[in-house]
Amino acid sequence: MEVFLLVKVVAGLTLLSGVLALGQGGLPKGPGEALAFAKCSTCHGVGYLKELAGSPYWSWDRTLLEMERMGLQVSPEERKIILDYLVTYLGPDPLSSPTPPDSPPSPTPQVPAKTSDVDGAQLFANYCNSCHPDGRPGNQAGSPPLAGNAFLARDPVYAVLVLLNGLQGPIEVDGQSYSGMMPPWSYLLSDKEIAALDSHIRMNWGNQELLPQDFRPVTVEEVAQARSKTFTAQQVWEYRKKLESAGE
């Protein structure tokens, strides 16, 4: 299932770059583009939309619902315009315009090979920085800081579960309350990428000073084991509450 979704994403991105005129932030031009750019770039940026290119109607509808739960403010009319735009221009069969005569033919879609070198810093910049810029709280009320976050050192599995499954529920960091919803990345990032991202977060912004002396980076095998647990975002929050109670 994950391979199928990844092939669709890569194929969708190749198609977009080859046949659609691009506008703000690299989004395809069309009715609703400006509204989608304005609303969807407030948290994860339009790169999040382009990563999901090729998704069907139900998937875009669920994505919008998750963004609304995180605090995205849209009226019913705006939501319909955005959803119509996403399905029309970033869906399984996006509308296309003729390829410019001087443009080279689009390459055959290929799933990029996973290499042994995975850049956790680049992954953070691509997927996390808009909500947690340089480890600080983002522009959404529910985005807590990662820098100096002692909770990340409490349990070697917790951060991996959050990255894989998201987090939904009120939490407190450094005396400040947060109640947003973090989306899951299990459908998009491999075990190796999750491991690299976890290590980057726990080894930067002062977090490395909070780690126990016997700390070691999480392994790909441990991420795979965490993925097999199939937690929901709510269950990850409940796991966090158990850790809090154990540490009191």
Quick: pLDDT tens for 25-47: 678 888 888 888 887 766 666 66
Topology annotation, domain 2-90: Cytochrome Bc1 Complex; Chain D, domain 2 (1.10.760)
> What's the distance, Cα to Cα, between the start and end of the chain in Å?
41
CATH 1.10.760.10 in the chain, residues? 2-90, 120-247
Put simply, whether the predicted model's pTM sits higher than 0.75 gets the answer no
What tens digit of pLDDT does each residue of 36-93 get? 888 776 666 666 677 778 888 777 877 777 777 666 778 888 888 888 888 888 888 7
181 three-state secondary structure: strand
Q: Which of 232, 228, 243 is nearest to 168 (CA)?
A: 232
What percent helix, strand, coil does the chain show, rounded to 5?
50, 5, 45
From 1.10.760.10, 1.10.3720.10, 3.30.160.60, 3.40.1160.10, which CATH number describes the 120-247 domain?
1.10.760.10
Residues 6+ apart with CB under 8 A from 129: none
